[in-house]
């Protein structure tokens, strides 16, 4: 359950990031998603440690998780639409290729 203090603090953190244009510079980090992730992490920390303040590394981890989720969502959408195809090269690496018939 969301603690009101974590909600307030997460919203303040996101508002501060908005003022620095963080979200314009990091297009795969959505403000709403980051706020929810921060609330989630702070609530868990409050329940387990009795302290809701995140360390710098915990904050960075939250940002990376939100970023990765948005990248995955975007790539999966492109794959689902057929705009990008996925395969495996001879080295076993996953590779992606844009549909040559796609008009961008």
Does the pLDDT of residue 6 top 90, yes or no?
A: yes
Closest CA to 12 of 53, 69, 67, 55: 53
Res. 57: pLDDT tops 70:
yes
Segment 48-66 mean pLDDT: 96
What is the pTM assigned to this prediction? 0.82
Mean residue pLDDT of the chain comes to 93
Q: CA 30, 73, 103: angle at the middle one, nearest 5?
A: 105
Confidence of residue 104 (pLDDT cuts 50, 70, 90): low
Average pLDDT over residues 10-16: 96
pLDDT > 90 in the chain, percent: 80
Quick check: 103 pLDDT over 80?
Answer: no
Q: H/E element holding 67?
A: helix 56-81
Backbone angles phi, psi at 69, to 5 degrees: -60, -40
What's the half-sphere exposure (Cβ side, CA atoms, 13 Å) at 30? 11
- C-alpha neighbours within 13 Å on the C-beta side of residue 87: 9
């Amino acid at each position: 359950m969301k603690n009101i203090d974590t909600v307030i603090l997460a919203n303040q953190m996101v508002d501060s990031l908005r003022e620095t244009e963080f979200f314009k510079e990091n297009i795969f980090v959505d403000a709403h998603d980051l706020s929810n992730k921060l609330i989630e992490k702070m609530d868990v920390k409050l329940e387990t440690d009795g302290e809701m303040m995140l360390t710098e590394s915990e904050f960075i981890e939250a940002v990376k998780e939100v970023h990765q989720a948005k990248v995955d969502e975007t790539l999966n959408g492109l794959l689902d639409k057929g705009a990008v195809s996925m395969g495996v090269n001879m080295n076993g690496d996953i590779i992606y290729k844009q549909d040559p018939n796609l008009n961008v």
